[in-house]
Amino acid sequence: MEKPSFQPLSFSGIIDTTFRIFSQEFKTLALLSLLFNIPALALQIGARYVQQANEPGIIIVLSLIAMICSVVCSGLLTGAVIQVVSARYLGERVTFSGALGRTVPILGKIIGTSILVGLWIFLGILCFIIPGIIWMFTLALTMPALVLEHVGSSEALARSKQLVKYDRGKVVGTIFGSGILLFLLSAAMGVLWHVGLAAVEIDAQSVTAMVGEQVLGYLLGPIYNVALVILYYDVRIRHEGYDLELLSKEIEGA
């Protein structure tokens, strides 16, 4: 694959690059998203039927399994998506198995760091909400820093704070922009899905309808992490003087 020649990106450039890379890597990202979301969905459907059978013991067990499954799968998905997007942005490619191979050894760090980020945001929300929103933006680049710089949890939190400080406005704009993009795409897909259900006379409240709607959400879900990886690289290139060659060596050699 030809090495790209890129410059620091504007806000619109980040959104455009996000959509382009998402489109280019859609098959891999979709496969990752489905693989690591379907198990939790299956457990949710199972719990729905168990609730109807009024079996509290089984419900508790299924809930615990679903929680553990969700945490592990979310960590694997986050790490693998970051690896895929990073490679594409640097003009390289990483296979489905290659992305997982790079993610599994650091899965524990990803899960632990996700919990720390969640706790910081939760504590901030308890303090009259506004601090939680501030922490959400301040820690937005924690996962890209953790996965791509091969640092520990505390270092990743500090790196995110440092990177966001360079250009807080662009971070806020990118998060909102990617959120709006995801919302619009999800809304469009949802409308098409419900039109299709009506055409074949399937109840919109049925399990089939619910599963289909969830799957559509899973296919679009990686957009947010794609945007964060692009933003992470843009901030480093713009404010830390990193170029493509140095970034490639860092990712390959760390």
Q: What is the pLDDT of residues 97-154, one digit of tens each?
A: 999 999 999 999 999 999 999 999 888 888 877 888 888 999 999 999 999 999 999 9
What tens digit of pLDDT does each residue of 227-237 get? 999 999 999 98
pLDDT at 33: 94
pLDDT at 8: 81
Between CA 195 and CA 62 the distance in angstroms is 33
pLDDT at 185: 87
pLDDT at 245: 56
Taking the model in full, what pTM does it have? Answer: 0.86
pLDDT at 217: 87
Q: Closest Cα to residue 190, out of 163, 154, 214?
A: 214
Q: Could you count the other beta carbons within 10 Å of the beta carbon of residue 231?
A: 28
pLDDT at 230: 94
Between CA 149 and CA 157 the distance in angstroms is 12
Between CA 94 and CA 116 the distance in angstroms is 28
Give the helix/strand (H/E) hosting 243. Answer: none
Tens digits of pLDDT across the chain (254 residues): 555 556 788 888 999 999 999 999 999 999 999 999 988 778 777 766 776 666 677 777 877 888 888 899 999 999 999 999 999 998 888 999 999 999 999 999 999 999 999 999 888 888 877 888 888 999 999 999 999 999 999 999 999 999 999 989 889 999 988 888 888 888 888 888 878 877 776 776 666 777 778 888 899 999 999 999 999 999 998 888 766 556 556 555 54
For the record, the structure tokens of 80 come out as 């693998």
Q: Which residue has the tokens 């615990």?
A: 64
In our burial notation (b when 16+ CB lie closer than 10 A, e otherwise), range 10-46 reads ebeebbebbbebbeebeebbbebbebbbeebbebbee
